[in-house]
Structure 1
Amino acid sequence: MQIMTLIPELKKIARATGAVIYDIYQSGEFEQEIKLDHTPVTSADIAAHHYLSKQLALLTPDIPILSEEDCDIAVAVRQSWDTYWLLDPLDGTQEFISRSGDFATIIALVHKNKPILGMIYGPKDDVLYWAVDGEGAYKETSEGEERIFSHTCPQPLTSLNVVVSRVQNPDNIRKLVEDDIDLELQSLGSASLKGCLVAEGKADCYIRLGITGEWDTAGTQCIVSEAGGAILDLNLNPLSYNQRDTLKNPDFIVLGDRNLTWSEILTG
């Protein structure tokens, strides 16, 4: 499969999915409920899931699909997949509900447990990030497309620009970093958009404490890795995909500069 040949059509699909979400967002008319895992889901999540899954099934009928909104698939079945789509049709559901506009669609292609394609589209700002393994990471706006790179921190390290969730207690982040490093915190919704800030060098790292799913990080992981960074758990091990019974991630860090000694920076 020539992955790069999929990119033009995937861009159209990502933008069209974003339009499905944004039309509902602008109307202000949607239903919401709480799922069994105590996270919210809206009619926009479901509409985006159905549209995105249908379009990918038409584009690549032989590739199975695992979506946040359709993840009740037997472990033995999904672990038999060599290649599959991993989707979060609406990343940032709470931000959608609270009307911050910080939400996105995440598309990832996973091959042999590694994300090899990532695409993230934020409809509010009409911004699209994408990457393919070995081909670099890119950002596309109305002004055009550019290759992006994560930030290389000056050494000795004295400060870090850290992007965090709006609901994250900053004290818990502070406890994880060496006391002699100053932290500049910036808040943003949507796990994927925060990761993309690191990928394009606008933040040094993103520390995530709390429950996320593999669909929240797979697309971002490909983009960040191709930009020069990495996504690791807090023991600095790579995140795994479709290798465990659960699809939940551990706490993790998205870091931009792989050359820093993160084992000395993180104290937690």
Structure 2
Amino acid sequence: MLSPELFEKALSASIKAAAAGASALIAVLDTSDEELHISSKADGSLVSDADYASERKITEILYPLGIPMLTEESNIPPYEERKDWKNFFLIDPLDGTESFLSNRSGFAVNIALCDETGPIIGIVADPIENVIYIGAMGHEFSSTKIDGLNPIPIKPQAIQKPYRLVTSWVEKASIEELLPPGIDPSDVVSRPVSGALKFCKIALGEAEIHARTGSYMEWDCAAGDAILRSVGVDVFDRNTNKRLKYNSKDLRVNGLYTSII
């Protein structure tokens, strides 16, 4: 368990790191595809100079904390080496690489600090909107401008009907298949939202439900999970109906759902 002093240092550093990563992405927004080096990873997903630039800025700030980091663009230690970690960061320096490359929008920076119970700090930076969303254990949900770090608590909007379901742009399941038990599909409208910003929409009260059927990586959702925990909302595994667990062997999440209803 982190000491209170180290926890607060990690929270402050995570906010600064997200701002630095977001600023690195903004710096390459006007770079043409010809100038921006793009390659494919083993799983077929794309990676670019922007991913690496953001990751460098983030890890430089977090490294002095002495807490292990699992980042999308770096080598992942074997499970046997990391399975007993008490604390670790999950980092996606560019959540939404393909959106960034195709239209220079719909992307974010995700940083989560986890302990054995799950994510205890979650930071999601939206470079286009110049905002960082912050969720941390023992702290109110808050936000700050990227170019002027001064977190201010946020009061979520009230729940409304029809309920608003936010999904991935590539989600293929129907509303009926996505909804958690007990919610009538006729009471729901759906729209796609990019990346971890879906979780932020729920924390803000701009949506009531998020669900996903496909598999993706833990660093795609850990920061959003922490943000929702800060407003008293849990994120569940679709297969077990239990809270998401992190630092698994393959670091994958095979479907999830969350709701403030």
User: Identical aligned pairs, as a percentage?
Assistant: 27
The TM-score normalised by the length of structure 2 is 0.86
Instruction: Report SS of the residue matched to 1:14.
Output: helix
Cα distance per residue 1:149-182 (max 9 Å; x no partner): 556647xxx632011222333x523333355533
CA distance in 2, matches of 1:150, 1:229: 12
Q: Aligned residue for 2:234?
A: 230
Task: Measure, in 2, the Cα distance between the counterparts of 1:211 and 1:25.
Answer: 28
Distance 2:25 2:226 in 1: 24
Partner residue, 1:248: 252
Of residues 116, 120, 125, the one that matches 1:121 is 125
Do the aligned residues in 2 keep the contact of 1:224 with 1:256 (CA within 8 Å)? no
- The reply to whether residue 164 of structure 1 matches residue 167 of structure 2 is yes
CA distance in 2, matches of 1:81, 1:184: 41
Describe the shift of the 1:143–1:256 C-alpha distance in structure 2 as closer, same or farther (beyond 3 A): farther
Find the counterpart in structure 2 of residue 51 from structure 1: 57
User: Structure 1 residues 132, 22: closer, same or farther in 2, change over 3 A?
Assistant: same
Report how many aligned residue pairs link the two structures: 249
Structure 1 residue 199: Cα displacement: 0.9
Q: Which moved more, 1:45-54 or 1:87-96?
A: 45-54
Q: Counterpart of 1:26 in 2: which secondary structure? A: coil
> Using the alignment, how far apart are the partners of 2:242 and 2:260 within structure 1?
15
Letter of the 1:159 partner, please give it. Answer: P
Quote the offset at 1:12 in angstroms: 2.4
Cα distance change, pair 173–40 in 1 and its aligned pair in 2 (3 A): farther
**Long gaps (5+) in structure 1:** 258-268
Out of 149, 152, 159, which is 1:146 matched to?
A: 152
Q: What is residue 114 of structure 2 aligned with on the other side? A: 110
Within the candidate set 76, 83, 87, 2:80 is matched to 76
Given that residues 149 and 227 in structure 1 are in contact (C-alpha distance below 8 angstroms), is that contact kept between their aligned partners in structure 2? Answer: no
Give the aligned CA root-mean-square deviation in angstroms. 2.3
Distance 1:159 1:22, change over 3 A: same
Output the amino acid matched with 1:26: D
Q: Please give the alpha-carbon distance, in whole angstroms, between the structure 2 residues aligned to 1:112 and 1:180.
A: 35
3-state SS of 1:15 partner: helix
Kept in 2, the 8 Å contact 1:4–1:132? The answer is: no
What's the offset of the Cα at 1:148? 3.2
